[in-house]
Amino acid sequence: MTNNIVVAAIDAGAGIQFNGEQAIQPNFPSDEILSNNDVVNIPGDGIYISCWLAGTCDNNIVTNNILYFVDQIYFGRNPLLKGGGGNIFLHANAGTFGSDNLYSNNLIYYNTTETPQNILAPGQTLIDTVSADPLFVDNTGNATGNYQLQPGSLAISAGISTGCPVHDFNGNQRIGICSIGAYAASW
């Protein structure tokens, strides 16, 4: 799942969700790529990944995503904390998360906790997280906004090649070092 823009969800679920609760096979989600997405103005978790059934969820790539203004932590649809930011929420029920998952080079900013929160399963860590305003061209917080990056954004050339798609949201080729988010810098 790459190059998506998710804005202004009205449900308190997640902006992006890989949910193994209804899976028909163990080890779901495994071998998934979640890269270069913008998740903006979400009343629930930014990214929610559930390893529900027995087995190991592994080889997932979660890179180069922007999580901006994520508002509430949810655990099994029960609100735990209003004003919290469940930026990246990994939920293991009967399953476990393996050692070959990658959560790297994501930009997390302006989430409404005093201390941004990532709820991670044991053994899982975030690597090279950027904590800065992404400097969107016109952040309206809804679908009318322009979520391209302005010059000076710390998201520009701050991504990694793992999971980075060849083209951006507009179909423009990504040249050089991958930028974080759905758009490649075009100036």
pLDDT in tens, 71-102: 654 434 334 444 444 677 777 778 888 999 99
The residue type at 76: G
How far is the C-alpha of 135 from the C-alpha of 155, rounded, in Å? 8
Residue 66: strand pairing partners: 38, 107
Which pairing describes strands 5-7 and 38-42: parallel, antiparallel, or unpaired?
parallel
Domain boundaries, the chain: 5-131
The answer on pLDDT for 170 being more than 90 is yes
pLDDT in tens, 135-147: 999 999 888 999 9
Query: pTM here?
Result: 0.86
131-150 burial string, b = 16+ CB within 10 Å, else e? Answer: eeebbbeebeeeeebebbbb
Cβ contacts of 115 within 8 Å, gap of 6 or more: none
